């Protein structure tokens, strides 16, 4: 990678004097599409999942916490990242399916300029964008719960109730809430 390619990459993100151009902002969720970003995403996910699992086991008074954490953390991280990628897939699908709408209709204008702009920059600026994103995150929490309960914690030597609570805690507290973060806060006019 040479200096010119680095400059052209940052020229897409930045506009005159380090101010981010409003029309060329990459949505936060789109960074999951770049495998180089996984260098940061996966370790952060691992730390978050480890902390949530350890605190949950501490609260549930489960013995051998470090042993259980060592046995299960890879699967928990895998399912968490998989759920993140499913959210990104849903959002990418919403982003690319605008071609099936008549470009002359008012709905197309609203979908492209209001709904998608809110999904990309600030989901709290449009109730429909917020509802869609929250619904996707809720669906992924349910999927994460089911996957962890069935594949990660099913063979552990702990009570069945604690397996369910541990799966529920990891699903709730490690959900991809970061996709709700308004990147618009860092955009300057």
In a domain, 62, yes or no: yes
Instruction: Name the H helices within 60-105.
Output: 65-96
> How many domains does the chain divide into?
1
In a domain, 123, yes or no: yes
In a domain, 45, yes or no: yes
The whole-number pLDDT of residue 187 equals: 65
Cβ pair 27, 121 in contact under 8 A = yes
What pLDDT tens digit does each residue of the chain (189 aa) get? 444 444 445 445 444 444 444 455 678 888 888 889 999 999 999 999 999 999 999 999 999 999 999 999 999 999 999 999 999 999 988 888 777 777 788 888 888 888 998 988 899 999 999 999 999 999 999 999 999 999 999 999 999 999 999 999 999 999 999 999 988 777 655
In a domain, 91, yes or no: yes
In a domain, 86, yes or no: yes
In a domain, 18, yes or no: no
CA distances from residue 73 to 46, 58, 145, 170 in whole angstroms, order as listed:
8, 16, 14, 11
Q: Supply angle C-alpha 84, 21, 128, rounded to 5.
A: 45
In a domain, 14, yes or no: no
d(CA 32, CA 46): 15
In a domain, 17, yes or no: no
The whole-number pLDDT of residue 101 equals: 77
Domain of 137 in residue numbering reads as 27-186
């Amino acid at each position: 990678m040479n200096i010119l390619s680095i400059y052209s990459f940052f020229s897409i993100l930045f506009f005159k004097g380090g101010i981010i151009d409003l029309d060329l902002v990459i949505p936060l969720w789109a960074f999951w599409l770049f495998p180089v970003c996984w260098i940061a995403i996966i370790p952060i996910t691992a730390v978050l999942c480890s902390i949530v699992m350890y605190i949950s086991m501490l609260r549930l008074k489960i013995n051998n916490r470090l042993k259980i954490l060592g046995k299960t953390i890879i699967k928990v991280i895998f399912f968490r990242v998989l759920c993140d990628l499913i959210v990104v897939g849903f959002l990418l699908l919403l982003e690319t399916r605008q071609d099936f709408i008549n470009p002359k209709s008012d709905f197309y204008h609203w979908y492209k300029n209001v709904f998608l702009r809110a999904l990309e920059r600030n989901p709290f600026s449009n109730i429909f964008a917020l509802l869609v994103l929250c619904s996707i995150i809720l669906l992924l929490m349910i999927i994460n719960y089911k996957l962890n309960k069935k594949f990660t914690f099913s063979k552990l030597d702990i009570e069945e109730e604690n397996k369910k609570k541990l799966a529920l805690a990891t699903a709730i507290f490690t959900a991809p809430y970061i996709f709700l973060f308004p990147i618009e806060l860092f955009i300057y006019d």
